[in-house]
């Protein structure tokens, strides 16, 4: 059944729209004649105009001209069989996929008016006479407004919602209201069928044991799947702002499972979500109680002199700082360092950096800087705003307006299973990374009682970036080769922050780029790079084995007398909910 707009006389409706356009153009011309060159003033520097009046006038005149032309074309199309060429949708925009947005003049008018207004707002921001960072912030907040005001987000202006309500006799709206009430109780948007997954049942299923725990981490040792293993073990440091099982999503989709199958002796840190009794923990505590403690235990259990160490995202930043602390203490405990989508230089942080400024950090420091918790759902919402159409509004429409049940998708389940952070740790991190970019400066920060200099870490380095990463821009990750480690190898994966990393070879999906000539300019590096189909995992596996010290018989038990098995993997910490 086709959706229809409210009952109106169609021809009179469009004629009125055309007259309104003509009137608006005349009123705008009158305003131009009366104006005395007044623009939008800069509140900081009153003598400077952020948006000069002439620029505003040109944009407004162009907007009304195009809007009038579009209304006229809609009229011709509706009653004279003509066609119109409106504003094109951005690639991948699925909000207006329903045929009604193209075939019915009422909805076509709504869509095109919205797209034209959106384009004008973007142009308005682009012409603002402000510094680059302020312009990026303006673009970000303009996009949030534009995304929120889409006619597809409202029941009265979404043809799919209206049609579904008619076909179900309003049951879809009733179900949507139930979904909304449930989410109000949760304090977050439900984006996945949460009943379809359970950590330890079909997520985080690689066999292993927790062989150590403190108030911040559990250390998991995985059961070898080969008769012999690499003598040099592997310690994995996941991000502390997410649950670790992104790296162990399930059989056939797990980096942990893959590493074990290739004969690596794998250990992994499972971070605990902050609770009131851990709300006092600082950045230094995360280093000492996390990777620094874990490295010692891994070496004690395996008897190895050094261990490979891998860090993902914030886990890579934590691991790099821990490696610099080891270097300052003159402790040679690392064989290699692998950084997956990790930032060490925060000069270009992408859009997430636009949300962190002096005022926001100072406010957090005043409220939770000496103790307290940053709730996981706040972090999850912040990341969601970076791709609001895909991660927020899509689910608002499907769940609340259509009453649909979310799909079962492991990555979305993981993404919704957020982790809370201690206030002191979070405040130190944001000030010394996104705000002041101190970590990359030799000796600028003191961590665990020693001045930190990343360049003192002299171990082979493997850096993986994702080309479409909206959290860690790949060119920022590329710069890590100049800050830490030696004999660097850089690999660029296709796709984004998560999909670029989680790419099992057996699926033969996506691609990656290789180039041994690590020139200073990342654009030149990419121009000269060779694209390889499939996963980057085998390249990383071969690289690590080149820096290992041979093979030995696989252990038959997890832990040792000092560190006996506490409980089976995945352990208690990863199952605790912060939401």
pLDDT given for residue 34 in this prediction: 42
Q: Is the pTM of this model over 0.95?
A: no
pLDDT at residue 71 is higher than 70: no
Domain definitions of the chain by residue range: 10-151, 208-353+420-575
Give the pLDDT band (50/70/90) at residue 66.
low
Nearest to 256 by CA among 539, 525, 504: 504
pLDDT at residue 284 is higher than 60: yes
Mean pLDDT of 276-286: 97
Give the pLDDT band (50/70/90) at residue 144.
confident
Q: Which residue is associated with the tokens 């691991």?
A: 319
pLDDT at residue 229 is higher than 60: yes
Q: What percent of the chain has pLDDT over 90?
A: 64
What whole-number distance in Å separates Cα of residue 269 and Cα of residue 291?
Answer: 8
Per residue in 378-402, pLDDT tens?
877 777 777 788 888 898 999 999 9
pLDDT given for residue 364 in this prediction: 94
pLDDT given for residue 35 in this prediction: 39
pLDDT at residue 190 is higher than 80: yes
What whole-number distance in Å separates Cα of residue 263 and Cα of residue 260?
Answer: 5
Per residue in 98-124, pLDDT tens?
999 988 888 888 898 889 888 888 888
> Alpha helices of 207-354 — where are they, by DSSP H?
255-261, 283-287, 293-302, 314-328
Catalytic residues: 313
Query: 324 near 452, Cβ under 8 Å?
Result: yes
> Alpha helices of 339-491 — where are they, by DSSP H?
358-368, 376-385, 388, 394-395, 410-416, 423-430, 474-478
Query: 210 near 567, Cβ under 8 Å?
Result: yes
> Is the sign of the CA dihedral 548, 552, 554, 556 positive or negative?
negative
Per residue in 413-456, pLDDT tens?
998 888 999 999 999 999 999 999 999 999 999 999 999 999 99
Which of 113 and 494 is assigned the larger pLDDT?
A: 494
CATH topology of domain 208-353+420-575: Rossmann fold (3.40.50)
What whole-number distance in Å separates Cα of residue 33 and Cα of residue 26?
Answer: 11
pLDDT given for residue 128 in this prediction: 79
What whole-number distance in Å separates Cα of residue 478 and Cα of residue 488?
Answer: 10
Per residue in 127-140, pLDDT tens?
877 777 778 878 88
């Amino acid at each position: 059944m086709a959706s229809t707009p409210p009952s109106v006389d169609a021809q009179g409706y469009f004629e009125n729209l055309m007259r309104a356009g003509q009137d608006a153009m005349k009123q705008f011309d009158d305003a131009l004649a009366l104006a005395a060159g007044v623009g939008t003033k800069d509140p900081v520097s009153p003598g400077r105009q952020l948006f000069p009046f002439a620029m505003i006038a040109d944009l407004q005149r162009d907007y009304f001209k195009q809007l009038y032309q579009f209304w006229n074309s809609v009229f011709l199309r509706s009653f004279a069989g003509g066609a119109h060429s409106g504003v094109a949708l951005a690639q991948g925009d699925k909000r207006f996929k329903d045929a009604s947005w193209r075939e019915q003049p009422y909805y076509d008018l709504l869509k095109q008016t919205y797209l034209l207004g959106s384009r004008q707002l973007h142009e308005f921001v682009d012409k603002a006479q402000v510094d680059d960072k302020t312009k990026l912030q303006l673009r970000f907040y303009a996009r949030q407004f534009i995304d929120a005001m889409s006619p597809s987000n409202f029941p009265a202006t979404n043809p799919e919602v209206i049609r579904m309500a008619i076909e179900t006799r309003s049951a879809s709206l009733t179900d949507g209201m139930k979904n909304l009430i449930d989410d109000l109780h949760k304090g977050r948007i439900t984006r996945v069928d949460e009943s379809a997954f359970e950590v330890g049942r079909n997520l985080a299923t690689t066999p292993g044991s927790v062989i150590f725990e403190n108030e911040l981490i559990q250390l998991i040792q995985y059961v070898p799947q080969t008769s012999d293993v690499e003598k040099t073990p592997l310690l994995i440091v996941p991000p502390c702002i997410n649950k670790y099982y992104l790296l162990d999503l399930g059989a056939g989709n797990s980096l942990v499972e893959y590493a074990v199958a290739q004969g690596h002796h794998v250990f992994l840190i499972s971070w605990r979500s902050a609770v009131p009794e851990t709300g006092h923990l600082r950045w230094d505590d995360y280093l000492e109680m996390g990777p620094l403690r874990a490295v010692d235990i891994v070496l004690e259990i395996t008897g190895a002199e050094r261990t490979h160490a891998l860090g993902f995202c914030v886990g890579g930043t934590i691991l790099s700082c821990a490696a610099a602390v080891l270097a300052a203490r003159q402790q040679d405990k690392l064989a290699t360092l692998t950084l997956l989508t990790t930032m060490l230089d925060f000069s270009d942080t992408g859009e997430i950096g636009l949300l962190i400024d002096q005022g926001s950090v100072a406010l957090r420091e005043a409220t939770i800087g000496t103790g307290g918790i940053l709730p996981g759902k706040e972090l999850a919402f912040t990341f969601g705003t970076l791709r609001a159409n895909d991660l927020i509004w899509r689910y608002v429409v499907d769940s609340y307006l259509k009453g649909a049940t979310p799909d079962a998708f492991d990555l979305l389940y993981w993404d919704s299973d957020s982790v809370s952070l201690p206030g002191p740790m979070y405040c130190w991190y944001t000030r010394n990374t996104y705000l002041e970019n101190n970590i990359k400066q030799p000796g600028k920060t003191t961590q665990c009682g020693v001045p930190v200099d990343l360049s003192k870490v002299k171990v082979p380095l493997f850096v993986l970036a994702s080309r479409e990463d909206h959290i860690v821009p790949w060119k920022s990750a590329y710069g890590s080769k100049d800050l830490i480690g030696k004999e660097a190898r850089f690999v660029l994966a296709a796709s984004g922050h998560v999909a670029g990393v989680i790419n099992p070879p057996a699926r033969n999906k996506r691609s990656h780029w290789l180039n041994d000539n690590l020139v200073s300019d990342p654009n030149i590096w990419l121009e000269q790079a060779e694209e390889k189909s499939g996963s980057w995992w085998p390249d990383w596996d071969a690289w690590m084995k080149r820096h290992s010290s041979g093979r030995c018989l696989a252990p038959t038990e997890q832990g040792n007398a000092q560190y006996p098995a506490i409980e089976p993997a995945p352990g208690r910490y990863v199952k605790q909910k912060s939401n």
